[in-house]
Amino acid sequence: MGAFMDKVVKTATYYIKVFQKRLRRWALPVVRPTLKRPIFVVGCSRAGTTLIYKTFSESEKLGSLQRETHDFWAALHPPSERDWTSHVIPVEMACHEDIKEVSNFFYAETGETRVVDKNNQNGLSIPYLYKLFPDAHFVFIKRCPGDNINSLIVGWSKSNEFGDWAEALPERIAVDDGYFDRWCFFLAEGWRDYLNNSIEEVCAFQYKMMNQAILSAKPLVPKAQWHEVTYEKLIENPVVEFEKIFNECEVSFDEKIRKHCEEVLQKPYNTFSSIEVNKWRKGENRARIERILPMLTELEKRLGY
């Protein structure tokens, strides 16, 4: 009986949420919502952005879709219209209609005007996002190149999860002598130069381009709205680091959030293996990564490693 009632409650909850979303969509012309102080989580894919996003999503003070929103942003400004040059949304595309479209979307989905958002492409479009919402907060998570690139390499083997959007690409992908035939994660400018390269070169390119784009955008954003955390410090002491970020973003760090942070590493999000630092040195990709790390020395210093 207990299992049956659980199913009934889950089904009822689902349809209530569907009905609420429909009501909010109908009410949009009257409510005319505008997002206030949205939080955008940015960083390279496989750097820990999901950990940050899911933890912020625990807050009752923030609206969250509990999923990545790359489909929404890609539909708003399709990269195909820019010849698939990259997933960058140019700053000059920011306009009042976009503010309205984005605000309506998040309000209809969450019922809130302060939201947290994350997808693995937003780090390339910070100037655009900041122009839309000048009061936005940006939370930038950094991860050391060895571990981040190792995780990107593993992720490229899961193209159904991280490359499902890439079926429409016009180019033939033959990374690592054709072992990888679908582009994964995101397109950075110059990606076509890597169609036939080794997987470690491709992932080093993605790591470099994403982090450089974020660092280049940093001066645009007021210091009070820009927040950085390293993956290594976060997993060393998640309660301390999350409390700091929550306070900086002016989001209540209540007992429910504290409890979540105390247990968050015991139920990690979307990890491929155990959570630890420098695990790339013990993995099968060590020789590949050692070969490309010298190319990232300058960026590594800029990131504080």
Q: What is the pLDDT of residue 27?
A: 72
In a domain, 76, yes or no: yes
Q: Which CATH number is 94's domain given?
A: 3.40.50.300
Q: What pLDDT is recorded for position 88?
A: 98
Structure tokens at 267: 């139920």
Q: What is the pLDDT of residue 246?
A: 98
Q: Is 78 helix (H, G, I), strand (E, B) or coil?
A: coil
In contact, 99 and 132? CB cutoff 8 Å: yes
In a domain, 125, yes or no: yes
Any domain includes 2: no
What are the pLDDT tens digits along the chain (305 aa)? Answer: 566 555 545 565 555 666 567 777 777 887 789 999 999 999 999 999 999 999 999 999 999 999 999 999 999 999 999 999 999 999 999 999 999 999 999 999 999 999 999 998 999 999 999 999 999 999 999 999 999 999 999 999 999 999 999 999 999 999 999 999 999 999 999 999 999 999 999 999 999 999 999 999 999 999 999 999 999 999 999 999 999 999 999 999 999 999 999 998 887 666 656 677 778 888 899 999 999 999 999 999 999 99
pLDDT score at 278: 76
168 contacts: CB under 8 Å, gap ≥ 6: 80
User: What's the CA gap between 119 and 136, in Å, rounded?
Assistant: 16
Q: Phi then psi for 174, rounded to 5 degrees?
A: -140, 55
**Residue ranges making up the domain that contains 124:** 27-302
Q: In this structure, is residue 11 part of a structural domain?
A: no
66 lies in some domain = yes
Q: Answer for the pair 257, 246: CB distance below 8 angstroms, yes or no.
A: yes
Number of domains present in the structure of the chain: 1
Q: Would you state the pLDDT for residue 271?
A: 60
* 134 assigned to some structural domain: yes
DSSP E strands, 147-266: 226-230
What pLDDT score was predicted for residue 29?
82
Angle CA 275–278–282, to nearest 5: 95
Q: By the 8 A CB rule, do 110 and 271 touch?
A: no
Pairwise CA distance, residues 99 & 57, whole Å: 22
Longest dimension (CA), the chain: 62
Domain assignment present for residue 206? The answer is yes
Residue 215: predicted pLDDT = 98
**Distance between CA 249 and CA 225 in Å, rounded?**
7
CA-nearest of 141, 173, 145, 147 to 159 is 173
Q: Identify whether 4 is part of a domain.
A: no
